[in-house]
Amino acid sequence: MALLEILGLTKNFGGLMALHNLDCHVDSGELLSIIGPNGSGKTTLFNLITGIYEPRSGLIRFNGKEITGSTPHQVACHGIGRTFQRTTIFKKNSVLDNVIIGYRLHTRAGIWGAIFKTPATRREEDKVKKKARDILHFVGLSDREDQIAENITQEAQKRLSIAMALATEPKLLLLDEPTGGVNLEEIDGLIELVKKIQKFGITICIIEHKMRVVMNISDRVIAINHGEKIAEGTSKEIVTNEEVIKAYLGTSYVT
């Protein structure tokens, strides 16, 4: 069953057509990978889904409800979390505080409770800290909760950005190049984390350039070029697709 449905999605920036009449879907529980050359429209798709951009035309439906044109906050409240191609964290805050900021979306304490520190507010704060620590344990950062975020490694920052997205309690997690900028030795750990998230019951859609990662984790793959879907199938079907080889992988790619 489709958790996310994209129908006829089109977006242009002036004379540049970023996406053109794109149809795709993400089934509940699956891990869908999106591949394609730089500038093919992959991140634009994520930005449309999460309300950063508004489409020129088309429909976005999530969990049976149309969310086309929703704000980023509304999209997050519907149950879609995301990370960004460039790791987005609060660098001057502690690792724990970064996750708490992500979780604040689901807290209920009002302004008066925050000012006067009512018993309900204190209980809420205790709950938030416990939840944040649970998430840090899940992503493997328990021992770094007090460190300033800008001082941890790039790989740890990737884990932190995922933790912040998980703090919003998403049904669907959009990961934009989660292994970008990390060394080869660290990729396997991030692959295992992504698999762990899926096993935990969260549907995942991932943009990824490293075919080693795509081949390792994907239930299904979509290839995009010039804003249009050019192929869809299993990872093995995609890497042998002539149009994908021509547009993205190159003739020297060996399966």
Does the structure show a pLDDT above 60 at 215? yes
Amino acid at 2: A
The pLDDT of residue 252 is: 63
pLDDT tens digits along 112-129: 455 556 676 677 788 889
- Domain shared by 121 and 20, yes or no: no
Helix 95-103 to helix 154-166 angle (10° resolution) is: 20
- Domain shared by 161 and 183, yes or no: no
How many distinct structural domains can be found in the chain? Answer: 2
- Contact partners, residue 205, CB within 8 Å, separation at least 6: 4, 26, 31, 32, 33, 34, 172, 173, 174, 175
pTM greater than 0.85: yes
**Which residues form the domain of 56?**
1-79+170-255
Amino acid at 139: V
Q: Has residue 84 been placed in a domain?
A: no
